[in-house]
Amino acid sequence: MDTQMKPADFRRYLGVLYFGTDTAPPFQRYVNRAYRDLSRTLHTDGTAGSREARVDATASELSAHLTEVAGRKKRAWRKEADFDRWHDETCAALIATFGGDEMCYGHAQKWVNMSLKYLFTASALKLDDIGLLESLYPFAHMPIDNIVLDALAEQGFEHKCPRPWSKLGKDDYLAFQNAVRSTYKECPMDVEFMLWRGSGTPTLKS
């Protein structure tokens, strides 16, 4: 094309189009975008002001957890159990901030996992520097929703969710993630990228 724009300009445009302005606090636009992926399943008492305030507070909590890891000087984790512990602590913090009577573990996992998925994508496209969050990729969990559950079923994945993804508890959730880890050669985040909208076929372990 006959243009003065550079590839980085187009990448930034695409990022703003999908994630919103990049003038927000670090990682906030990815966290906000991830919230939209679970918001319809998160039911509250109908007090609009109360919900908005709690969403903002919970988004800030998640952004703080992500920013802390990104800014570390040394590699964050070297094994799955380390990530699992951080993930659980982060989900617990989100539930406590929003309110455990209305936010389930299933909601929290979707918010954390989709935020990470968007951040990994942003890093790959050079939209943002995500620091040591990059080191989480091999251990990160698959975001669970109906699209990926249907795709897994078509693959013959035998471990079933015992309840809707938004209602999952901690134990059932982690059992599902470990089943994905033990079934496929690729890491769970790779599997999710491949299966979502049929963009690839993950490899079964022999």
How many whole angstroms separate alpha carbon 50 and alpha carbon 96? 15
Domain-embedded: residue 132: yes
Count the domains in the chain: 1
Query: Which neighbouring-strand residues pair with 184?
Result: 204
pLDDT in tens, the chain (206 residues): 778 777 776 677 666 666 777 666 779 999 999 999 999 999 887 665 688 899 999 999 999 999 999 999 887 677 999 999 999 999 999 999 999 889 999 999 999 999 999 999 999 988 899 999 999 999 999 999 999 999 999 988 989 888 999 999 999 999 999 999 999 999 999 999 999 877 788 999 97
Q: How far is CA 75 from CA 84, 85, 131, 133, 135, in A?
A: 15, 16, 10, 9, 7
196 closest CA partner among 146, 157, 162 = 146
Domain-embedded: residue 206: no
Domain with 152 in it: 26-198
Domain-embedded: residue 8: no
Domain-embedded: residue 15: no
Domain-embedded: residue 86: yes
How many whole angstroms separate alpha carbon 193 and alpha carbon 195? 6
Domain-embedded: residue 14: no
Domain-embedded: residue 16: no
Domain-embedded: residue 135: yes
Whole-prediction pTM value?
0.92
